[in-house]
Amino acid sequence: MNILNTFKQQQIPSSYLEENDETLKKLILSAKKQLGDQLLILAHHYQKDEVVDLADEIGDSLQLAQIANKNQSAKYIVFCGVHFMAETADMLTRKSQKVILPDLNAGCSMADMANPYQLQRAWEALQQKYPDEILPITYINSSAAIKAFVGKNGGLIVTSSNAEKIISWAFTQKKRIFFLPDQHLGRNTAFHMGIPLSDMALWDPVTNQLKGDLKRDIQVILWNGWCSVHQQFTLEQINALREKDSTIKIVVHPECSHEIVEAEDAYGSTNKILQIVQSSPVDTHWAIGTDNNLVSRMKKALPQKISFLNPNSCPCMTMNRIKLPNLAWCVNELAQKKENNIICVDEETTNASLAALDKMFSCH
């Protein structure tokens, strides 16, 4: 990725930051009307209500990238999410289309836990220990550079909704998998496929060491990364809710720790959580363990059915960097034929990443 080109972030004028919400909404709606189908605004489920309300499409990271890929009319795709999501959208769209991130500081702490230098060191060390026996798999929540490395080394990309299918396929290709950057999604998925925890090991990118019972025939090597939002749920919270209401059902995201996923009634991707709750009997009471921006919207729609697993959980702070002023500034500038914060992944990185993405789609 061309870092200099990607991180040329223009400064948002203070007038937008000082403006009231109603005026900002009017600016956004006016720009949308002026640009018509040349503008597509995408919003991730974890965005604030104020942003979601003005989006053309809402979904998880892969869904939104696929929507961008299928759209042929939009000249500008404004991605209200985090950096890796906008990168993926850029790689899946046409060269004539431009992907814009309203705030380039909207990153992902988990994606940042794996960089190409660390991965190269890890790969070399693991190849020495297990020559030609490992298939690399990266969660879509990773940088374009990490996706490209995985693609160049014959691996593929995984999402929280297709993880089991992808890992099952991977074991038909190689004896072991190297899963990054989220250890919890890898561990929880592999465990539910019947792989014991004792046959998993953890790669520490800081010490450049593999940790676990290495006398065993390790099948799953996990990168020591995690999502800060999904580490805010505890067994104490689950037990307290069940003591208060013995009929309550718990559903969590697979990025939660293993002990949390094992204590739930159901788990799944963001979309799976929505489907589980919406399809359950009307009198089912659910406590949900994922980003509270999404849970809050679900609770507004189904107040008697939804509770927060952790009402004090901090939502994704980098996702929340995108606010009405950022969105209003971006689209208002576009209406005036001014382009800011364009995400542009270079051709070499794109081609290698697409090899990994295409392999995922062919398995899906």
Binding residues for iminosuccinate: 44, 61, 139-141, 160, 253-255, 270
Other Cβ atoms less than 10 A from the Cβ of 23: the count is: 12
Q: Which residues, in sequence order, are bridge partners of residue 136?
A: 178
- With beta carbons less than 8 A apart as the criterion, state whether 70 and 42 touch: no
For tokens 């450049």, what's the residue? 208
The pair of structure tokens assigned to 236 is: 């104490």
The pair of structure tokens assigned to 188 is: 């929880």
Backbone angles phi, psi at 276, to 5 degrees: -60, -50
Query: Which residues are known binding-site members?
Result: 44, 61, 108, 139-141, 160, 227, 253-255, 270, 316
Query: Which residues are known binding-site members for [4Fe-4S] cluster?
Result: 108, 227, 316
DSSP 48: -
- With beta carbons less than 8 A apart as the criterion, state whether 76 and 86 touch: no
> Which residue type, as a one-letter code, is found at position 60?
D
The pair of structure tokens assigned to 7 is: 């991180």
**Displacement of CA 188 from its chain's centroid (Å):** 17
Residue 75 CA to residue 58 CA, distance in Å, equals: 19
Residues 6 or more apart from 222 whose CB is under 8 A from it? 179, 180, 183, 186, 187, 200, 201, 202, 203
Q: Where are the beta strands (DSSP E) in the chain?
A: 39-44, 57-59, 76-80, 98-100, 134-139, 156-158, 176-180, 200-204, 209-211, 220-223, 249-252, 266-267, 286-289, 306-308, 342-343
> Which residue type, as a one-letter code, is found at position 65?
A
